[in-house]
Amino acid sequence: MFLSLELQDFLLRARALKLYRQALRTARRAPDHSRAELKQVIRQEMESNRDCKDKQRIRFLISEGTERLKGLTEMLGMQGHC
């Protein structure tokens, strides 16, 4: 049982890091004048939740982050920043 909790922690961490990398890649597509600020906001969001231990909250944050990233991707696509 203890091993499965460690595995669950590992998987949640991997999902969070994947989301972070995807967000940074998406930020590269933003216009030059807003790119640095967007990257800073992404980093601040991740840092502010770095010490969260509540697995349910972590799942919620990953889900919320994924939805926000989808919205950002769509917005950049509509503006022609592919």
Domain segments of the chain as ranges? 1-79
Is the pTM of the predicted complex or chain greater than 0.85? yes
Single-letter amino acid code for the residue at 20: Y
Q: In this predicted model, what pLDDT tens digit does every residue of 50-66 receive, in sequence order?
A: 999 999 999 999 999 99
The Cα–Cα gap between 58 and 68 comes to 15
Please report, to the nearest 10 degrees, the dihedral formed by the alpha carbons of residues 74, 36, 59, 64 taken in order. -40
Q: In this predicted model, what pLDDT tens digit does every residue of 16-32 receive, in sequence order?
A: 999 999 999 999 999 99
The Cα–Cα gap between 81 and 75 comes to 9
CB-CB contact of 22 with 67 (8 Å):
no
Any idea which residue has 């592919």 for tokens?
82
